[in-house]
Structure 1
């Protein structure tokens, strides 16, 4: 995982450069994009009480996008709009896996409550997105 400043997001391939978002023929995508809240990540790290200087960046979670100042939906079927045209439908909770404990012991448990691990979604509408773009929940 590496942070980037902008990316293309498409229905066919998810986030540019992430092969996990590619839609396979005859399949309905449920895990094209993973989003996490910076506040949830911070709460999980606080719970771990890591030594100063050993904090982990949000992308250690292996999420595609990190949003700040917005509570992501805790249910499937909600629409997250990013920038001018990108729209993502939430499909399920992004349950933390055992790989999180390889990053930091206890991280899996710290990400478990209240969807702290983030949400998964599928792309409804393509768009170019960039760091700083407005993120909103459509009603």
Structure 2
């Protein structure tokens, strides 16, 4: 039996450098991305998605198992799915559809959070993906996540 891919974490921040606020559910719109997140107005980077498997691999690479996923400052945490490493790929999360616009490049803030973390997030898009919302709706932890075949 295969493990179902699902959304296991939601976080946002009201402004740059603000602490991450975790949520159980949130609305998403094509105009503003994650409700209440300051990046929503950035069309190519409305939402960032990180897989727990990639996060754990990065933490293992630096010998740390105590870093919460919100250290990465991503909006959504998923499990059981290999996120596409290509611009234009589509991912459905509950009733919401996002399109991948690029890689979430690790920044020096990751190195400040834990020595070596910035470098550990660099290989193979391990730091996650940036997306824009193409179909809005509400999402909640536990929602199914799946790749959408190109039309």
Deviations 1:78-136 (A, max 9, x none): 111011x2100001011100110110011000000011000001000001000000000
> Unaligned 5+ residue runs, structure 1?
24-28
How many residues end up aligned between the 2 structures? 130
* Structure 1: distance between partners of 2:41 and 2:23: 19
What aligned pairs does 1:24-63 form with structure 2 within 5 A after superposition? 29-50=43-64, 55-63=66-74
* Structure 2: distance between partners of 1:128 and 1:86: 7
> Unaligned 5+ residue runs, structure 2?
1-19
Deviations 1:28-71 (A, max 9, x none): x1111000000000000001112x6xx11111100000000001
**Which stretches of structure 1, 4 residues or more, deviate above 2 A after TM superposition?**
none
TM normalised by structure 2 equals 0.84
TM normalised by structure 1 equals 0.91
What aligned pairs does 1:5-20 form with structure 2 within 5 A after superposition? 5-20=24-39
Which residue of 126, 129, 138 maps to 1:119? 129
More strand by share: 2
CA RMSD of aligned residues (A): 1.0
